[in-house]
Amino acid sequence: MDYRKLVDLARKARRNAYCPYSRFAVGAAVLTTTGKVYTGVNVENASFGLTMCAERTALGRAVSEGERCFAAIAVVAGGKRPVPPCGACLQAIVEFGRDIDVVMAAPRGSHTVTKAGELLPCSFVLAKANK
């Protein structure tokens, strides 16, 4: 699948990142299986533990609108090479499916695609209760 449009939306969202401490702006765009896209950015806080990552912001926006099925998430961060989501974000992504495509891109240039489950092979899962 061609994810250039999704990456472009993440790049545009990245402009709105609030990152006065790290100066590391991140934008994300999550694609639902129905074709809707929700974007997010990182929002830092002086109390660093309260910082929200772009990926979880995008997922939160989508979930708050009733979405639960995702095909892909694009992540654009600073630097010359694509950066993968952090472990916490990967755990949040695999909550909705290990087969979700994670599209990673730098501010300029091409992108790379891998499955969320490949980036976090030992994700935490709760056993389903037997009924």
Domain-embedded: residue 25: yes
The number of folded domains in the chain is 1
| pLDDT per position as a tens digit, 32-83 | 999 999 999 999 999 999 999 999 999 999 999 999 999 999 999 988 899 9
Domain-embedded: residue 22: yes
Q: Quick check: is 118 catalytic?
A: no
- Residue 63 is classified by DSSP as H
What the block records as the tokens of 62 is 């989508």
86, 80 contact by CB (below 8 A): no
pLDDT beyond 70 at 97: yes
Q: Can you give the residue range of the structural domain that contains 77?
A: 4-119
Domain-embedded: residue 130: no
Of the candidates 81, 88, 97, the residue with the CA atom closest to the CA atom of residue 30: 97
What the block records as the tokens of 48 is 């660093």
Report, as an integer, the average pLDDT of 115-126: 91
pTM score, whole prediction = 0.93
Q: List the CATH number of the domain containing 112.
A: 3.40.140.10
- Which residue among the candidates 44, 55, 67, 95 is catalytic per the annotation? 55
pLDDT beyond 60 at 108: yes
